[in-house]
Amino acid sequence: MEERKCVCGMNYIPSTELVVKKTIIKKPLFEVIDIHGHFGSLILGDDYENLYETAQIVDILKSYNIRHIINLDGFWGEKLDRVLKKTHPFNDYIITFGGVDISRLDEPDFGRYVRETLEESKKKGIRGIKVWKNVSLVMKDKHGRKIPIDDDRLKVIWETAAKLDLIILIHIADPIAFFKPIDKYNERYDELHERPDWSFYRDEYFGFWQLMEMQERLLENNPDTTFIVAHGGSCSENLEYVGKCLDRFSNMYIDFAERISEFGRQPYTSRKFFIKYQDRILFGTDFNPLNIDYEANFRFLETWDEYFDYSCKPKPPHGNWKIYGIGLDDNVLKKIYHLNAEKILKI
């Protein structure tokens, strides 16, 4: 019998014929604190000042009922000064997280550098620290070895954050499919075919579950530090696992930035998860001024709508699937939209 050929690839973007309820939500029921945004060079590049007008972006955000947004591109030193200048005079509205230069890890005064940098940055107004996935996945120490996120040499960062009452928002792993072969079985084939540099399926990288083991040790070994584990706790494809972590580590929170595509395709599981962990989930989108995409997030949280796009982009940016709303009650929505962020940020 002739083998059936698979129709796939970037040119296949099917248009559904399904007729279901469509709820348009331009403004959510309650005020929102977006815990995961980018206003600087990490996403936009070094010329970011010329790409947007801060006042105009703030007006757009307020039209979506965004009460505050976190800028994760603070970095340190002159880079921090630069981004704070760009977001001025809205630095009460745009709350900036800073960081430290982990490439200095092997320097003998790294501990002193971390403490002084974070103390100085806090005086300038940062409310937290962003740690990106380049730790563990990209960066190497002086011996040419990858730096595990639970490396003892990094402990000074977590201890100083606890002492200074700074939140750690940490990106540890990418979607599980990024750690698998780019073949016909990979559900993110189109995305990885377009961006093969996002693939971590090589011996030089830690495996996905190795990273999860490191994440667990990090949380366990630093109980006094508050961590927001970004992108659905690193494992939004497996909410049973994330739930077990939340049960085990009281210092762990999660956001769902750029992951409603995952949460929304498992609505029964997600609804139970959001209700059970309603005090530990923070609203986040991975916002940047050139990518304002809120409406699907509101629709996912507030409605019972079925089979809708998780992004306003014409081509699905992640997997080629639709999502469903989880119809959360008002008391849960308030926590996720802003109350949980208020609590841990002490706003």
What does the alpha-carbon distance between residue 124 and residue 96 come to, in Å, rounded to a whole number?
10
pLDDT reported for residue 11 = 66
Report pLDDT digits (tens) over 19-67.
Answer: 999 999 999 999 999 999 999 999 999 999 999 999 999 999 999 999 9
Q: For the chain, where are the alpha helices, taking DSSP H only?
A: 41-44, 54-63, 77-87, 110-124, 134-137, 155-163, 189-194, 208-221, 230-233, 239-248, 260-263, 267-276, 295-302, 330-334, 340-345
State the Cα–Cα distance between residues 211 and 150, nearest whole angstrom. Answer: 9
Beta bridge partners of 271: none
Q: Which residue has the tokens 């790294």?
A: 110
Per domain, the residue ranges of the chain are 32-345
Residue 215: other Cβ atoms inside 10 A = 24
3-state secondary structure of 97: coil
Low-confidence ranges of the chain (pLDDT < 70): 1-11
Query: What's the pLDDT score for residue 4?
Result: 43
CATH class of 32-345: alpha beta
CB 258 within 8 A of CB 287: no
Predicted TM-score of the model (pTM): 0.95
As a residue count, the chain comes to: 347
